[in-house]
Every structure is written in structure tokens, then in C-alpha cells.
Structure 1
Amino acid sequence: MKAEFIVSDMTCNHCVQTITRAVQAHSPGAEVRADLGTHRVTVEAAGDAAAVEAVIREAGYEVRAA
């Protein structure tokens, strides 16, 4: 699965690290790319996008599919 999300309150590298760790804890081996300028997070991982979206939300961020 490859999915893209908008994380409007992702504002710094700490946010990126928190989101990356959360996604990779849920799906080991996931590739996570984040763009702070556009607030976009792209995830390539096994599983479905809804589960990844829930993981990002549980990490404390507002998230929606891009």
C-alpha cells in the first residue's frame, strides 16, 4: 500500500520523527516520507491506509487522506 496524508499540525522535525516511529512501530519496514512545507506524509507499507491514518491520529496528530 502506498498512501498520502495531510497532517496539518506537523510543524517540525520532532513531529516527523514521532509520526515515523509510530508508523514503523505499527508496520515494521514501512517507508515514511514527510514534507513539512506541505504537511504531507507519504507511507509505503503493508496493510491498509485506514490503519496507518489511525496510528498517526493515535500519535496525537490531526490527519486526513490527501
Structure 2
Amino acid sequence: MTTATYTVTGMTCQHCVASVTEEVQEIAGVTDVRVDLASGDLTVTSDQPVDRVIVSAAVDEAGYTLS
């Protein structure tokens, strides 16, 4: 298991959190996703390390930005 933490910008409500969570959970190998609205932290747990570009693309698909 590996865990990586990123910062997501542009989230303003729980719907934003749900959107990001849903998109990132679809990445192959991801076993857990935690999003903290107050800090913007996105914590991704996966079987193998996930390329930042793939996480960024999922966050972009949700309508937000990985910084």
C-alpha cells in the first residue's frame, strides 16, 4: 500500500468533495480516497504508486485543480 497527499484548489462545498472523491476512486488500484474541504488535502491510498498526472487528470475531470 502507498499513500500520497495532494492539494486541490477550487473546492467550496461538500458537493465538490464528493465530485473529487468519485473521480479519484475510479483510478485503477486506488483503495481509499480522503478529501478535506478545509485544507484542500486529497489523500490517495493505492496498491501501487499512482502517477501524479493520472490523479491530476481525475481532479480536472471533477472540475478542480491539483496544485
- 1:38 positional shift: 0.8
Structure 1 residue 3 and structure 2 residue 4: aligned?
Answer: yes
Question: What residue is the counterpart of 1:59 in the other structure?
Answer: 62
Against the structure 1 CA distance between its residues 28 and 16, is the aligned structure 2 distance closer, same or farther, given a 3 Å change threshold? farther
| Long gaps (5+) in structure 1 | none
After TM superposition, the runs of 4+ consecutive aligned structure 1 residues lying more than 6 A away are none
* More strand as a share of residues: 2
SS of 2:4's partner is strand
Instruction: Give the length in aligned residue pairs.
Output: 64
- Give the root-mean-square deviation of aligned CA atoms: 1.7
| Long gaps (5+) in structure 2 | none
Normalization by structure 2: what TM-score? 0.76
Percent of residue pairs identical:
38
SS of 1:43's partner is strand
- 1:17 positional shift: 0.8
